[in-house]
Amino acid sequence: MADQDLYKEVLRVNGAESQIDMCIEECSELIQALCKYKRGKPNNVCEEIADCEIMLEQMKLLFNKGERVEGWRAFKLDRLAELVGYEEEE
């Protein structure tokens, strides 16, 4: 089963509201893991990044109508590159 098919099935089985709550929870766990990292404590940053990526893919299925996320990403990456003076090699 492809990842996208799995995410659709999870959304169908659990419902959008539940998965939105789960996304909030996973984002909170990543914040907590990053705080532990900054304090030099054992942490699970990588696990929480993976959890967030999985949840963000589901949020894109719910909210990303007309590829708006891709548009925002391109805009923000351009702005970020400008901010640090980054030029892509040709």
User: What residues make contact with Mg ion under the rule CB under 5 A?
Assistant: 26, 29, 48, 51
Q: Which is nearer to Mg ion, 23 or 26 (CB)?
A: 26
DSSP assignment string, 58-69: HHHHHH-GGGHH
CA dist list (Å): 89 to 53, 68, 86: 28, 27, 9
- Residue nearest to Mg ion as judged by C-beta position: 51
Q: Which is nearer to Mg ion, 29 or 57 (CB)?
A: 29
Q: Which is nearer to Mg ion, 49 or 61 (CB)?
A: 49
Q: How far is the CB of 51 from Mg ion (least distance, A)?
A: 4
